[in-house]
Amino acid sequence: MKTLGCDIGSLFSKAVLMDGENILASKIIETTGNIGVEIEPLIEEVCRQAGVSRFNLDGFVGTGSGAELLEDADFLEDEIACIAWAARCFLPEVELVVDIGGQSITSMLLNDEGEVIDFMRNDKCASGSGRFLEVMANALGVPVERIDEEASRAKRRVSISSQCGVFVESEVITHVNNGEPPQDIVAGLCDAVARIVTSQARRFGMGNRYTFTGGVAKVKTVVDLVCERMEGEYQPFPLDTRLAAAVGAALLAETE
């Protein structure tokens, strides 16, 4: 059964074509003001990669903050439901999922059946989210993909006190001017993000099995630092964490 899941996120849009639990193809593009016209090519590209005809799909589910732009979808599902579903399928024992996306951190609590029994989003301040990390990394000229590599060379962590993504940029610049090595600043940034994620995650009990999804979960340094401060058992999400919602959507397409 070939199903398509599409997640129009706040910063990135993802499409995944799945056959059961196998990913046949996936693609991630930036969500811009133009996303409306870029969706169709994105879907076509994924279909082409997988060698499946756009019109031969067994199901198509949309999700994400821009989901209503997906006019062809069979139905739309809430992001929370999709992520939880994906987590449930790949990590049946997980009780807590923390999604660290572009603009928000969402913690979800799952019961034995993998249903969301409670969830919580971060407050009005975007600090700690992916965008925060991006802005900071930009200021340093280190692409997000290379954060781990940089941080691994750090001798210490520069302490970062701004929690605001906008101000942190100038704080980073100050550190650079003071001659702090970039890798130490990067390590400090990861620590700053990890602290914010930790307080979000710890709100939901501490002793459970947990996993991370979303873009920032790709940054191992951050994940490790959060795990250090958590008390439960960490179970890594086995796929690209950024795809979690899209994968969940594709899997849900199969159930209906």
**At its nearest, how many Å lie between other proteins and the CB of residue 27?**
19
Encoded one letter per residue, x for contact with ligand SF4 by CB under 6 A and - for no contact, window 146-185 reads: ------------------xxx-------------------
Q: How many residues lie near ligand SF4 (CB under 6 A)?
A: 6
- 25 lines the binding site for ligand ADP (CB under 6 A): no
Q: How far is the CB of 127 from other proteins (least distance, A)?
A: 8
Backbone angles phi, psi at 206, to 5 degrees: -120, -20
Nearer to ligand SF4, 169 or 224 (CB): 169
- Please, which of residues 145-174 interact with ligand ADP by CB under 6 A? 145
Q: Is 123 in the site for ligand SF4 (CB under 6 A)?
A: no
| Binding test (CB under 6 A) with ligand ADP, winner from 98, 219, 225, 251 | 219
Would you say 18 or 216 has its CB closer to ligand ADP? 216
Torsion angle of the four alpha carbons 46, 48, 52, 54, in this order, in degrees rounded to the nearest 10: 70
Interface region with ligand ADP, contact rule CB under 6 A, candidates 34-42, 174-182, 201-209, 212-220:
212-220
Residues that bind ligand ADP (CB under 6 A): 9-12, 101-103, 130-131, 133-134, 144-145, 214-216, 218-219, 242
